[in-house]
A and B are shown apart, each in its own frame.
Chain A
Amino acid sequence: GENVEQHPSTLSVQEGDSAVIKCTYSDSASNYFPWYKQELGKGPQLIIDIRSNVGEKKDQRIAVTLNKTAKHFSLHITETQPEDSAVYFCAASRTGRRALTFGSGTRLQVQP
């Protein structure tokens, strides 16, 4: 089955700096890659996703890149703010299997 590895497990940045979180996946058939943000005591919330037919997607301060050949994808957050502090999860799925396979999470701390 699919396996998703996520790095780093913790990341501390200064407010205004950029943060990058990386994930690799094992199933070459995976074609959907969402990123979720989870705040303490809440369920995960989708922040951005990418399909396998594109290499990059941006939404304001957030961007995701996908390298299908290398089977890795990354989340980039620019101009970080304290409210970006949370746990971020990457995930992958493929057509025909609706379950998402999640990475182990990255705890991002943005220092004011």
Chain B
Amino acid sequence: GAGVSQSPSNKVTEKGKDVELRCDPISGHTALYWYRQSLGQGLEFLIYFQGNSAPDKSGLPSDRFSAERTGGSVSTLTIQRTQQEDSAVYLCASSLMGSGGKETQYFGPGTRLLVL
């Protein structure tokens, strides 16, 4: 079946503009995660959704970052007033609901964000 999809695949924006990144999880997966990968670095957790609620937002780096999920499916990550340090690959993952901390997370291809 279809995997996790993300759009756009690439986004170039000017400093100070807002951007929206979209994630379509695997059908039936109730858990959804956003991670950020800076150039040459590992993945940094941003936020986790279970259904439409976000029980763990601990990784969001500032109040310029927000995310929502509707209908237990699609999620949008919004970055307001973008800064150059926001440039990174934003990865989305999804997993089936199950015993916490041990489900396989399946990743999308990412959105490459460049803030000029």
Contact = CB atoms under 8 A, between A and B. Distances in A.
Interface of A: 4, 6, 31-32, 34, 36, 41-46, 49, 51, 89, 91, 93-105
Nearest to B99: A95
B100 interface: yes
Contacts, number: 74
Interface string B81-116: 000000000010101000111111111111000000
A93 B43 CA distance: 13
Contacts of A95: 99-102
Interface of B: 4, 31, 33, 35, 40-45, 48, 50, 56, 58-59, 91, 93, 95, 99-110
Given A43-B109, A44-B107, A103 B42 contact: yes
A46 B48 contact: no
B48 A89 contact: no
17 contacts: A6-B42, A36-B107, A41-B109, A43-B4, A44-B107, A46-B105, A89-B43, A95-B102, A97-B56, A98-B100, A98-B101, A99-B58, A100-B43, A100-B105, A101-B45, A102-B44, A104-B41
